[in-house]
Amino acid sequence: MRAFTVHLPDEKHQRLKALVQSRGTTVNRLIDEMATLMLAEFDVQTRFELRARRGTGQTARGLDLLKKCPQGVSGLCLHAKAVLSQAGVTCSRKPKAPRTFGTVAKPGLPSGGRAL
């Protein structure tokens, strides 16, 4: 484990002391928690940027895949359809009829006619 010195204005140091006292912890533990959160945020940002670079230039392929998504499959699909329609892209594929598995499908019920 490493130790390091941090220079803070007196007012900020007093506020940190009040914070740790209200949380029932120590300044060291608070700094460790803040560092953990900042590193996790950095990792998420790095992963996002890496995935964004891998997808660069593949917009048309992504839009084609989203157009194949049948309506009503999931919230993500519905959201993708909304984004596509805002971008002026329409889906030419007709939605499939819902499977009923022996029950009569009733509009508005996601379970194919059975109330959950």
Q: What's the predicted TM-score (pTM) here? A: 0.47
Amino acid at 56: T
Which residues have a Cβ under 8 Å from the Cβ of 115 and sit 6 or more positions away? 109
Helices 10-23, 27-55: axis angle to 10 degrees equals 100
d(CA 71, CA 95): 6
Which of the 8 DSSP states describes residue 10?
H
d(CA 67, CA 69): 5
Between residues 47 and 64, which one has the greater pLDDT?
47
> Residue 105 in contact with residue 98, Cβ under 8 Å?
yes
Dump pLDDT digits (tens) for 15-52: 999 999 999 999 999 999 999 999 998 898 888 888 87
pLDDT of residue 94: 52
| b (16+ CB within 10 A) / e for 20-42 | beeeeeeeeeeeeeeeeeeeeee
